[in-house]
Structure 1
């Protein structure tokens, strides 16, 4: 349940055939499967199983943020329409958060809305992006500036798909789950610690627990906030700086740059340092951030390709502008007064933060000498 919207989320193990049967039961005349080249190559057989006997158009693109553009969106829409899709057709996202966002926006735009089904193949999509109505692509200025809200018909997840993920992709999604623990549900931290300590991040048993905990945490803040404009803004913890780090790194290193979750993990460290400097988070609570982030394989340092000044320039165009009254020299931030307790302005979990505060926190993270590597 996300505010006034609700949709079923089914997850299990070794269930791709059952997912295909459930999609068939929706009665589509055609499927538009949105994926990327890496996922298409890795799960070619699974794509056939999902489609079954239904005519399927597979729209693929080189993986990465280059998918989340108006050019790619427009091309996919034109291809789908020329292929003869109708209002009975179903758009299926099969992949990570990027194909999921692109598919969501496509489904909303085609004929003013056709049915959308998410089949996430990454932990970050299953545990974060599909647990939201937000569907967005990037502008030339920054991330997720162009988008809408659109509910899927259903989400299906087979955790067995995650067991073949490269380690860096697996851990990237778990960083978003760690965000949920730190900012929303600290009671789940001990369970996350046990999973990390056991070294079984890719086991189906662990993945099912992590997925269940993620759904519980996100539901707790979106149940009364359909569009994530009030209490749900806490889900942006770490994202203001994290998105900027991700953008800066990918501008230099392309697909070799930081995965999304790792960048968000660094953003959480920056937010923790700002909160600590304000006297809100204790030394121990900041240490918990480092414990979890490093336990998930993220080196707590800015990559060599990213400068503090570049990050600050991107942060200036963060998409949370406008939630708070404008104050020159400040940026709206999600900060914590304690684990699981965001700082508020009115009823919004956002506070204005001076650029000088952000710079000081970034300098702490930038001083680490090791490069950031996940996996």
Structure 2
């Protein structure tokens, strides 16, 4: 098992990465100072891992709240349902929430923990690749609104992140591919060697080789932990983690949350950002081709939805939380392994890129 630490002073916490970590009760119990535990999960993950996690909590005052599965349920209505459950069951500040599931459950549970009685502890147990390499680490919690994704939320760090890469074996092919979009993102913005490694090991990753999965999850979590330790609340370098997200969030909002998976939208957003970079002479045509080919190797979309052109993108991107002084900010790669945050993308270039996509 690998153990990493997110270094945030008194809010520091460990990330445990291994095979069958969900069979080790000590990992969870070592981070429980509470009298009451509520496991929040969804109906798909509950069937797979709900009983296993509850068994780890035998002898404790542990309950389980099962929500519907899907991005469309990362909503204020679901947040209210969690709040109502906690209130009806007399949860107090000595309650710990455990988020068992993918990014939707992790974000919703974290936001609920941040708000309930002004903050109670929570633990992340991510079961999807996207959540393991990205959303479970760093303390970004939120729910969606019809006018924008993740616009209502808080920075709130977990007590621990417990990753069992065996859960990826039960992940549907499309969900696994969506997680790979975030993995590829790390290589583009931060680590050219990781990008090269992904090109070399794409077949083994598609086959879910456990040694490769542990290595890729470890490296992505390490990168995320380093960036978060430097810039917890995204006032600087952490914004680089949003490569593809400005375009991607627009796709999700336009198509309806859940119709395009988050990672699918991010993959297309990465391609659009790379095309902008090529027009600005920041990336070569061959570098853009490498990025597109690696995304396609994992069966990710590389073109925007049909009939979604410039006007549709702009309508949603103007509501993006990265807008500052009425200017949309983009993360644009300037090499494989490096990226910048910029609002210097003129409307003509955006129109050309988006209408051609």
Q: What TM-score comes out, normalization by structure 2 length? A: 0.92
In structure 2, runs of 5+ residues without a counterpart are 1-5
CA–CA distance in structure 2, aligned partners of residues 280 and 3 of structure 1? 34
Query: Does the Cα contact within 8 Å between 1:242 and 1:263 map onto a contact in 2?
Result: yes
| 1:159 maps to 2:159 | no
Alignment match, 1:361: 353
Distance 1:289 1:27, change over 3 A: same
Alignment match, 2:96: 90
Alignment match, 2:3: none
Q: Structure 1, residues 194-228: CA drift from partner, whole Å, max 9, x if none?
A: 22133544221121011011022223322311112
Q: Structure 1, residues 283-306: CA drift from partner, whole Å, max 9, x if none?
A: 111112112111111132223474
In structure 1, runs of 5+ residues without a counterpart are 344-348, 366-375
Distance 1:317 1:181, change over 3 A: same
Query: Does the Cα contact within 8 Å between 2:204 and 2:212 map onto a contact in 1?
Result: no
**By percentage of residues, which structure has more strand?**
2
What is the correspondence of 1:250-261 to structure 2 with a 5 Å cutoff? Answer: 251=256, 255=258, 257-261=259-263
Name the stretch that deviates more: 102-111 or 297-306: 297-306
Cα offset, 1:246, TM superposition: 1.8
CA–CA distance in structure 2, aligned partners of residues 141 and 132 of structure 1? 24
Query: Does the Cα contact within 8 Å between 1:331 and 1:355 map onto a contact in 2?
Result: no
Give the match's secondary structure for 1:145: strand
Alignment match, 2:319: 317
Query: Does the Cα contact within 8 Å between 1:335 and 1:351 map onto a contact in 2?
Result: no
CA–CA distance in structure 2, aligned partners of residues 187 and 22 of structure 1? 32
Alignment match, 1:337: 334
Cα offset, 1:229, TM superposition: 1.8
Give the match's secondary structure for 1:146: strand
Q: Structure 1, residues 258-311: CA drift from partner, whole Å, max 9, x if none?
A: 211111010000000111111111111111211211111113222347455323
Q: What TM-score comes out, normalization by structure 1 length? A: 0.88
